[in-house]
Chain A
Amino acid sequence: AQSVTQLGSHVSVSEGALVLLRCNYSSSVPPYLFWYVQYPNQGLQLLLKYTSAATLVKGINGFEAEFKKSETSFHLTKPSAHMSDAAEYFCAVSAVYNFNKFYFGSGTKLNVKP
């Protein structure tokens, strides 16, 4: 079975600082990987998704994520945080043999301090 672990339920950074949100997955075969963002009282929006074409994936709003097979990780980064980045972020994987079935991490709430 697939599973996703997000380290840190809350992360706080200053505006302009580096954002690093961690995601590790468990799977014997690299699954399909996604990052979603959720703003208050809204549904989830896709930030980026991993394709086998490149290990470094660029998404919307300046976010990017790097797939590291050896570490079974797919951490999300942004060089410079903006106040508008304050939201909850979810890492998700889709099952390798049932790729329309998704498993989500527990989420990381990002707080951006002025």
Chain B
Amino acid sequence: NAGVTQTPKFQVLKTGQSMTLQCAQDMNHEYMSWYRQDPGMGLRLIHYSVGAGITDQGEVPNGYNVSRSTTEDFPLRLLSAAPSQTSVYFCASSPQGSNQPQHFGDGTRLSIL
């Protein structure tokens, strides 16, 4: 059982480049989300989705785009990378319903030069 799979695990970009972080889950979870983790700031929600075709903004959405065409996949796009987007990015999924915990991927470590 793979759970939540994130690719790539590491990436270095130059300022202004674009890229897509991939996230896939095989648990048929309706809810998926993207977080960034920075030292001393915990996890901050970037975007989330409550089902295929439905997305919404979290706390820190600027500079990121998402789409949800299938239940399994929830890619995160950086449109024009900036050094401030250097971070560790986590994808998570959970089933719909109250009090359901999230299942996390292992993260993508992204450096913007």
- In the bound complex, what is the Cα–Cα distance between A99 and B48 (angstroms)? 12
Q: Evaluate contact between A32 and B45: CB separation under 8 angstroms.
A: no
- In the bound complex, what is the Cα–Cα distance between A29 and B35 (angstroms)? 25
Q: Evaluate contact between A34 and B4: CB separation under 8 angstroms.
A: no
- In the bound complex, what is the Cα–Cα distance between A104 and B105 (angstroms)? 16
Secondary structure at the A interface, as helix, strand, loop or mixed, is: strand
- In the bound complex, what is the Cα–Cα distance between A99 and B94 (angstroms)? 11
Chain A residue contacts of B101, Cβ below 8 A: 34, 46, 49
**Contact of A100 with B31 at beta-carbon distance under 8 Å, contacts A9-B40, A51-B99, A105-B42 already known:** yes
Q: Evaluate contact between B104 and A100: CB separation under 8 angstroms.
A: no
- In the bound complex, what is the Cα–Cα distance between A106 and B58 (angstroms)? 17
Chain A residue contacts of B102, Cβ below 8 A: 44, 46, 102
Q: Evaluate contact between A104 and B99: CB separation under 8 angstroms.
A: no
Q: Evaluate contact between B42 and A107: CB separation under 8 angstroms.
A: yes
**Contact of A101 with B48 at beta-carbon distance under 8 Å, contacts A43-B107, A44-B104, A45-B104 already known:** yes
Q: Evaluate contact between B104 and A101: CB separation under 8 angstroms.
A: no
Instruction: Count residues on chain B whose CB falls below 8 Å from chain A CBs.
Output: 27
- In the bound complex, what is the Cα–Cα distance between A90 and B43 (angstroms)? 9
Whether a CB of chain A sits under 8 angstroms from the CB of B78 is: no
Q: Evaluate contact between B50 and A99: CB separation under 8 angstroms.
A: no
**Contact of A106 with B42 at beta-carbon distance under 8 Å, contacts A43-B106, A100-B50, A101-B58 already known:** yes
Q: Find the residue from A42, A51, A90, A99 having the highest chain B CB count within 10 A.
A: A99
Contact with B along A84-114 (1 / 0, CB 8 A): 0000001000100001111111110000000
- In the bound complex, what is the Cα–Cα distance between A105 and B40 (angstroms)? 9
**Contact of A104 with B43 at beta-carbon distance under 8 Å, contacts A32-B99, A43-B90, A49-B99 already known:** yes
Whether a CB of chain A sits under 8 angstroms from the CB of B98 is: yes
18 A-B contact pairs sorted by A residue (CB < 8 Å):
A32-B98, A34-B101, A43-B4, A43-B92, A44-B43, A44-B90, A49-B99, A49-B101, A51-B99, A90-B43, A94-B99, A99-B98, A99-B100, A100-B31, A101-B48, A104-B35, A104-B44, A105-B42
Q: A residues bordering B, Cβ < 8 Å?
A: 4, 6, 9, 32, 34, 36, 41-46, 49, 51, 90, 94, 99-107
